Amino acid sequence: MRLIAVLIISGLFFSEAAHSQSIGESDLLGHIEILASDAFEGREPGTIGENKTVNYIATAWSAAGLLPAGEKGSWYTPVSLVERTSETYRIKFTYGSEGGSEGKAVRIQQDEIILRSRSSAFRQSGMPLVFAGYAERGQGEPSVAGKLVLLPRAPLDDSGRVPDFRDRKQRLIQDGAVGVIAVLDESDRWTRFQRSFQRASTSLVGAENHAELEGVISFDQFEKMMLKSGLDAETLLADRDNLSVIDLSFKADARAETQVRSYRSHNVIGRIPGSDPNSGAVLFLGHWDHFGICRVEDPLDPDKDGICNGAVDNASGISLLIETAKRLSGGGQDRDIYFLATTAEEKGLLGARAFVDNAPVALEKFVVVFNADTVALADDGTMIAVVGLGKSELDSDIAVVAAQEGRKIDRSDKADAYLKRQDGYVFWERDIPAYMISSAFADEERLKVFLDGPYHDVSDEVNDALVLTGAAADANFHVALGRYFSSTGTYPGIAPSGSGDN
């Protein structure tokens, strides 16, 4: 009740006039100031901050006239998560152990390999070792069942041209691999991956998401092992897309103890009913989560800021969704319009993955998906970047709406570097057109300043540096997108003559 009162006092409660009013900077700022306040403790999943956040979003969407579309008629759908933190581990590799011979040990620097187990403890001896590339397994090639797999992890390629490490790993797990150890292809990437792998890792609950043993090994140690096999490490990594599975003359004994914590978070889902739900549905989404209390309290400076508030990333995107929902909720459209606020995007797009695994509507009914993330950066709302441009036949429709709204599309393709790093990508994986359209990603200079500075830091908060000019223009553009794609008169339909591309 108190939160509803806050909405009323703030002037954020739904009114009929909201349908026709343009979205202004102050409309967005009101939500951001609340969602990115210290009271919400950085919106970390599984905390009091989550409770406040999802309640705020559901209350705002309810006030806007949306209907709940979550589990059992509620606004929420639970997302079961598990967090794993590596504690202790040890691994020993031996080679030349054919014919019952014990084999010779390879000296591997234990600080250049990191392991964690799926359950709290793992111990297994004599695991055959194989190297796996990304090519499909051919007839007569070795099986990975019961084996420990070394799998190259190349730098993330967002173009979609390079096979995804996560997908390849899951296929190996499905084929029976006991463990998967990622191999780095460059020595200078080790320190970053080492820090990342030593931190707590969160995933969706489910044995299919993790092998019994997982890890990462440096290129230098991988190279040392391959020399013992008479193989060239650089050649193997360079040919990864042409190789499937190669048996190596190694066996591994490994043990690992891992701290495992299971907990529950939530997606928030609302719906605006259409007059013809059989014509499909449109989905708007954005992630509500951030990093919570991300710095340990400093005893010498107890007042030092320790909260990652996430004003730009992604209180700004959620504010856009709330205001867009207000403008679209008056009805009159043919298709249902869904609004989704996802959890655990920062932990690997997990809330979005949980949604596609158990969507409230058959996924093939979604004619298009629009993701709103990190929108509050640009001071000019004219140019927009379209992440996902060139991957769907809907590009021409996006261009029609852009022309109608006086927006220019950045066609440099630079924004596609973020394709796999945002929630929309999980829909592309299911062949559903999903775009992230924002002026923020068209302003390369400001975006770089943000990513090199406040991004994922305590300094991403409401202050004088917060820019909402482009965000307000983007919010109004999302309203236009919603109206265009929710109507069977405009989509599908014949584009107005002369609209063309920008």
Mean pLDDT computed over 147-163: 69
pLDDT exceeds cutoff 80 at 298: no
pLDDT exceeds cutoff 80 at 42: yes
Residue 300 pLDDT: 65
- Whole-angstrom CA distances from 355 to 82, 266, 285, 392, 426 are 17, 10, 11, 22, 9
367 touches 485 (CB < 8 A) = yes
Residue 102 pLDDT: 67
115 touches 89 (CB < 8 A) = yes
Q: Which two tokens stand for residue 248?
A: 């190596």
pLDDT exceeds cutoff 50 at 297: yes
pLDDT tens-place string over residues 43-77 = 999 999 999 999 999 999 999 999 999 999 999 99
- Whole-angstrom CA distances from 240 to 130, 134, 179, 186, 337 are 13, 6, 19, 14, 42
27 touches 13 (CB < 8 A) = no
467 touches 381 (CB < 8 A) = no
| 391 vs 20: which has the higher pLDDT | 391
Q: How confident is the model at residue 294 (pLDDT cuts 50, 70, 90)?
A: confident
Q: By CB neighbour count within 10 A (0-12 exposed, 13-18 middle, 19+ buried), where does 358 fall? A: exposed
pLDDT exceeds cutoff 60 at 158: no
Q: Which two tokens stand for residue 235?
A: 């050649």
Residue 161 pLDDT: 44
pLDDT tens-place string over residues 217-253 = 999 999 999 998 889 999 999 999 899 999 998 999 9
Average pLDDT of the chain to the nearest whole number: 89
pLDDT tens-place string over residues 177-231 = 999 999 988 766 787 777 777 788 999 998 677 899 999 999 999 999 999 888 9
pLDDT exceeds cutoff 80 at 493: no
Distance of alpha carbon 279 from alpha carbon 26, whole angstroms: 35
Q: How confident is the model at residue 163 (pLDDT cuts 50, 70, 90)?
A: low
Q: How confident is the model at residue 11 (pLDDT cuts 50, 70, 90)?
A: very low
Q: How confident is the model at residue 495 (pLDDT cuts 50, 70, 90)?
A: very low
Residue 155 pLDDT: 58
Distance of alpha carbon 47 from alpha carbon 53, whole angstroms: 10
Q: How confident is the model at residue 159 (pLDDT cuts 50, 70, 90)?
A: very low
Domains and CATH numbers, the chain: 2-65+273-485 (3.40.630.10), 83-260 (3.50.30)
pTM, two decimals, is 0.86
pLDDT tens-place string over residues 122-142 = 999 999 999 999 998 777 789
